[in-house]
Chain A
Amino acid sequence: EVQLVESGGGLVQPGGSLRLSCVGSGFSFNQDWLSWVRQAPGKGLEWVANINQDGSGKYYVDSVKGRFTISRDNAKNSLYLQMNSLRAEDTAIYYCARDHHGSDYWGQGSLVTVSS
Chain B
Amino acid sequence: DIVMTQSPDSLAVSLGERATINCKSSQSILYSSENKNELAWYQQKPGQPPKLLIYWAYTRESGVPDRFSGSGSGTDFTLTISNLQAEDVAVYYCQQQHRVPNTFGQGTKLEI
Write the residues of chain A forming the contact surface with B, with a CB cutoff of 8 angstroms: 35, 37, 44-47, 50, 59-62, 95, 97, 99, 101-104, 106-109
Q: Flag if B49 contacts A107 (CB, 8 Å).
A: yes
Q: Flag if A102 contacts B101 (CB, 8 Å).
A: no
Q: How far is the CB of A36 from chain B (nearest CB, A)?
A: 11
Q: List 11 A-B contacts (CB under 8 A).
A: A44-B93, A47-B103, A47-B104, A50-B102, A60-B101, A101-B55, A102-B52, A102-B97, A104-B61, A106-B49, A109-B49
**Chain B residue with minimal CB distance to A104?**
B52
Encoded as 1 (CB less than 8 Å from any A CB) or 0, chain B from 43 to 63 comes to 010000111101110010100
Q: How far is the CB of B92 from chain A (nearest CB, A)?
A: 11
Please measure, in the bound complex, the distance between the C-alpha atom of A37 and the C-alpha atom of B95, giving whole angstroms.
12
Please measure, in the bound complex, the distance between the C-alpha atom of A104 and the C-alpha atom of B59, giving whole angstroms.
12
Question: Which residues from chain B contact A59 at a C-beta distance below 8 Å?
Answer: 100-101
Looking at A61, A62, A107, the one whose CB has the most chain B CB atoms below 10 A away is A61
Please measure, in the bound complex, the distance between the C-alpha atom of A21 and the C-alpha atom of B56, giving whole angstroms.
29
Interface check B7, CB cutoff 8 A: no
**Chain B residue with minimal CB distance to A59?**
B100
